[in-house]
Amino acid sequence: MIQKLTKKQKKTLLRILSSGVLLASLMILGWTGVLPEAWYFRLPLFLTPYGIVGWDVLWKAIRGIRHGQVFDETFLMSIATIGAFCIEEYPEAVFVMLFYQLGELLQNIAVGKSRDSIASLASMRAEEAHVFRGGELVTVSPEEVSVEEVILVRPGERIPLDGVVRDGESELDLSSLTGESMPQAVSAGNCVYSGAINCGGVLEIIVTKPYEESTVAKILELVESSALSKSKAEGAVTKFAKWYTPTVVIAALLLFAIPSIITGDVLRWLRTALVFLVVSCPCALLISIPLAYFGGLGSVSRQGILVKGANHLEALSELDTAVFDKTGTLTEGKFRVFAIRPVDGVEEDQLMELAASAEKQSNHPVARAILEALGDKPVPDADSLEELPGRGISAACEGKRLLVGNRRLMEENQIAVVQPEEFGTLLYIAFDGVFYGSIVITDAVKESAVFALSELRREGVRKIVMLTGDRLETADRVAKIVGVDDYHAELLPLDKVRHVEALLSEKRGTLLFAGDGVNDAPVLALADVGVAMGAIGSDAAIEAADVVLMDDDPQKISAAVRIARFTKRIVRQNIAFALAVKFVVLLLGVIGFSNLFVATFADVGVAVIAVLNAMRTLAYKAKK
């Protein structure tokens, strides 16, 4: 344990032990009658252990007064202990400072452990990259590698930059990114992300992003900034402390002055006022509440969930309504051609070639599915391409107009269509004003989606809604499989915004929206908590969302909610415990049944207990 302490903590511990031994020796001498009773003899002896353990507290209090920051805990401790010396309670004065420093040391160790856990995420960053330059392999910092350069990653090394595998096969450990323990196989053509560990063969990787835009850089940026966003409880306690401490000092003065004038018992009411000062220190709340949220942020991070601040973690704890996008969130987002339905007189290959000629310039998942299904077959060239948002594509092929899109596009151009029987995303093709047929694209429901939504219901989420731009029949099928309370289909991005605005007006707690973070950016920003699904490598998702899932598993949402609610329970326990103990000891002090020993426990002891309780959030695992 001692070996794990910092140099400063070791020095503090040595001071505490030295002071404690001196204090115990003096008290034994006093009990045996060896130590004279005269104050001028006892005072310098007890000032020695007091100075050893408390000189830095006194110095901090003096510096605070010089800089106008008078009313802090060091000021309260200094006044209380100096007052104890004034009333010749020498052992109590030393003990109060001794116990205070011991409590501060334990709190520093606890906070350091919490910070180390968060900082351990920084180990995801590779310190060096091996890059091919001029026919040689040179080792440089990842920041010095440019896009399109080729890096070499050996077995056991972390991938320093995002890229695409040019050569080699291996398995990657993505646990630090996604929380998933199973290795992922990669080979030539696969995308890989910085922070992953190469568990197998040698990989040659073409860099696709500079370091500052890489996955690991964005993760570390989020982790570092997450502590800056305070929860409501943290903000309230910080504001409370600004006026609370001066009020306590004034109240202690009144508690001393008024009864002393009335009763004439100055020593008794001075002692009572000192007890009041020590008990009233708010350090238990000022330390334990931020530490609890810091620990909660660390717990979700270890599961591949990045929460951009304690305020968002607190919002998750009050989740009432969950809204999901369909494609890529509740479904795989990996489209494939399920059926080709040409009209009479049109061949399947002809229909696919027409669709591919319009879609080959697009990066849309549906376009990629069509091109993959067509394989190596030649695709006719199309020109005058025009993307029609929410409808499809208009193009010219062989001098004739080609329309590829949804039913709305066909209706706008007064083209009658034949509806196929299969469920899925329907792509209608019209050429030269004539309907040529349709292609059925399917997107499988994620295996974890049903369980994810049932887990949210177990966590008390009142309403679950699905919003999608897909057609009604497909939305209905997915809604029945996953079990949502309500769904809306054939929506444009602005339609989703209107539906979420309506749900926000009905909610009882907070509203969460989970989407792919690209075309759902407006809704992610509008929701109380925006969750980006499948966010590895997605800049738009990381920028728009409050919570980033480093894989596309919706089950992680319920895990985040459980951790958030556990964290909030810990915060409430600490607030209730600290206030209850302080109130009881204050009451005992006013009626004369308390002393500085008890008061010190009510301050430092309660703070240590609250900090240890807060540390439970750091080790908490969101069990199903």
Q: How far apart are CA 291 and CA 532, in angstroms?
A: 26
Alpha-helix residue ranges (DSSP H) falling in 87-160: 90-119
Tell me if 311 sits within 8 A of 231, measured CB to CB.
yes
Per-residue pLDDT band at 139 (split at 50, 70, 90): very high
CB atoms within 10 A of CB 567: 29
In this structure, the answer to whether residues 89 and 235 fall within a common structural domain is yes
400 burial level (CB within 10 Å; 0-12, 13-18, 19+): exposed
In this structure, the answer to whether residues 187 and 155 fall within a common structural domain is yes
Tokens of residue 286, six digits: 């000022």
Question: 56 catalytic, yes or no?
Answer: no
What is the number of domains present in the chain? 4
Pairing outcome for strands 425-431 and 434-442 = antiparallel
Tell me if 56 sits within 8 A of 16, measured CB to CB.
no
In this structure, the answer to whether residues 39 and 91 fall within a common structural domain is yes
Residue 300, in any domain of the structure: no
Residue 211, in any domain of the structure: yes
Task: Give residue 3's pLDDT.
Answer: 47
Give the pLDDT mean for 384-410.
86
Give the pLDDT mean for 95-116.
71
| Alpha-carbon distance values, 209 to 164, 188, 192, 411 (Å) | 10, 18, 11, 43
CATH of the domain at 131: 2.70.150.10
Residue type for 522, please? P
Render pLDDT for 39-88 as a digit per residue (tens, 0 to 9): 888 899 999 999 999 999 899 888 888 877 666 677 777 887 887 788 77
In this structure, the answer to whether residues 450 and 311 fall within a common structural domain is yes
CATH of the domain at 348: 3.40.1110.10
Residue 60, in any domain of the structure: yes
Task: Give residue 408's pLDDT.
Answer: 87
CB atoms within 10 A of CB 603: 29
Task: Give residue 425's pLDDT.
Answer: 78
Per-residue pLDDT band at 2 (split at 50, 70, 90): very low
Tell me if 605 sits within 8 A of 103, measured CB to CB.
yes
Q: Which of 208, 224, 240 is the last residue of a domain?
A: 224
In this structure, the answer to whether residues 98 and 236 fall within a common structural domain is yes
In this structure, the answer to whether residues 452 and 438 fall within a common structural domain is no
Give the pLDDT mean for 157-178.
86
In this structure, the answer to whether residues 416 and 455 fall within a common structural domain is no
In sign, the C-alpha dihedral spanning 52, 54, 57, 59 is negative
Residue 315, in any domain of the structure: yes
The region, left, alpha or beta by phi > 0 then psi within -120 to 50, assigned to residue 54 is alpha
Per-residue pLDDT band at 237 (split at 50, 70, 90): low
Q: Residue 7 carries which DSSP code?
A: H
Residue 559, in any domain of the structure: no
Q: What percent of the chain has pLDDT over 70?
A: 87
Core vs surface per residue 93-115: b (16+ CB within 10 A) or e:
bbbbbbbbbbbbbbbbbbbeebe
In this structure, the answer to whether residues 485 and 423 fall within a common structural domain is no
Task: Give residue 125's pLDDT.
Answer: 73
In this structure, the answer to whether residues 463 and 515 fall within a common structural domain is yes
Residue 624, in any domain of the structure: no
Q: Which of 490, 524, 550 is the last residue of a domain?
A: 550
Residue 234: pLDDT above 60?
Answer: no
Give the pLDDT mean for 328-341.
84
Residue with the bigger pLDDT between 339 and 589: it is 339
Phi, psi torsion values for 96, nearest 5 degrees:
-60, -45
Per-residue pLDDT band at 536 (split at 50, 70, 90): low
Q: What is the domain range of residue 162?
A: 125-224
In this structure, the answer to whether residues 8 and 112 fall within a common structural domain is yes
Q: If you count them, how many residues does the chain have? A: 624
* Average pLDDT of every residue of the chain: 82
Residue 557, in any domain of the structure: no
Given the residues 325, 443, 470, 551, select the one marked as catalytic.
Answer: 325
Task: Give residue 1's pLDDT.
Answer: 46
145 burial level (CB within 10 Å; 0-12, 13-18, 19+): buried
CA atoms within 13 A on the CB side of 270: 15
In sign, the C-alpha dihedral spanning 493, 496, 502, 506 is negative
Measured CA angle at 611 (ends 609, 617), to 5 deg: 115
Q: Which of 207, 224, 241 is the last residue of a domain?
A: 224
In this structure, the answer to whether residues 268 and 207 fall within a common structural domain is no
In this structure, the answer to whether residues 115 and 14 fall within a common structural domain is yes
Give the pLDDT mean for 572-597.
82
Render pLDDT for 459-511 as a digit per residue (tens, 0 to 9): 999 999 999 887 788 888 889 999 999 999 988 777 888 999 999 998 889 99
Residue 89, in any domain of the structure: yes
